[in-house]
Amino acid sequence: MSGEHEIAIFYPGSLVLGGRTVLRGYASRYSRIDVYARVILAVASLGADWPVHALVRVNGEPFRLTAKPSCYKGRGERGVVYSVLAALRRGQHECIVAEREHYERFLHRYSKTRVIVRLSEAGEDVSGILLRGRTLWVMGAHKEPEESIENIIRRYASQEVSIGPLSYLSSQTAAYIVWRLSWRD
């Protein structure tokens, strides 16, 4: 856990891995893992090297993926998706590490060293909030996680914030948070 800020994306549902990796149609076949790739690329494009985590179930087992965005600056989405899938199969690929870790254990571990902030459309306007110190920004992927995961997130999050009244893509939300905090400093 290094750096001032980190991002965590919680995925609904479960990815099913098995057989060959075919990237044609990867968005639906792999439970929108492309959203994670886009967040990594958005953070990298702004020059931030905040670790980006994805918490997913793979074949029913909970996994945490952790990516170092600077490794993927200038890369394409398809290549990042391939790295994610390769990391899930092998444990690590390029700058992405995949480890078994339950959602609650992850949040409990981070709650000891960071402020956990949940990003949600229903949250308080982020522009009026002053945050200092180490922060873990938590959001859903393409849709909110199921209620059981939401309850775990709510238990650990000290604040719930929104970047605006509209629904935004996860990559747009991550880019806005990175830009806003970089601009503030």
pLDDT at position 87, please?
93
Contact 116, 136 (CB under 8 A): yes
- Answer whether residue 66 shows pLDDT above 90: yes
d(CA 12, CA 23): 20
- Beta 135-140 vs 115-125: how paired, if at all? parallel
Contact 178, 136 (CB under 8 A): no
44 confidence band (pLDDT: 50, 70, 90): very high
- Answer whether residue 23 shows pLDDT above 70: no
Provide the number of structural domains found in the chain: 1
Q: Identify the residue whose tokens are 């949250």.
A: 123
> In this predicted model, what pLDDT tens digit does every residue of 123-146 receive, in sequence order?
888 877 766 678 999 998 866 777
Q: Computed from CA positions of residues 32, 21, 57, 51, in that sequence, does the dihedral angle turn out positive or negative?
A: negative
H helix or E strand, kind and range, residue 177: helix 170-184
> In this predicted model, what pLDDT tens digit does every residue of 143-164 receive, in sequence order?
677 788 888 999 999 989 888 8
* CATH at residue 118: 3.40.1280.10
pLDDT at position 28, please?
47
Q: Identify the residue whose tokens are 């098995």.
A: 18
Domain that includes residue 166, residue range: 5-184
Higher pLDDT, 101 or 129: 101
- Answer whether residue 120 shows pLDDT above 50: yes
Buried b (16+ CB within 10 A) or exposed e, 101-123: bebbebbeebeeebbbbbbbeeb
Mean pLDDT (the chain) is 84
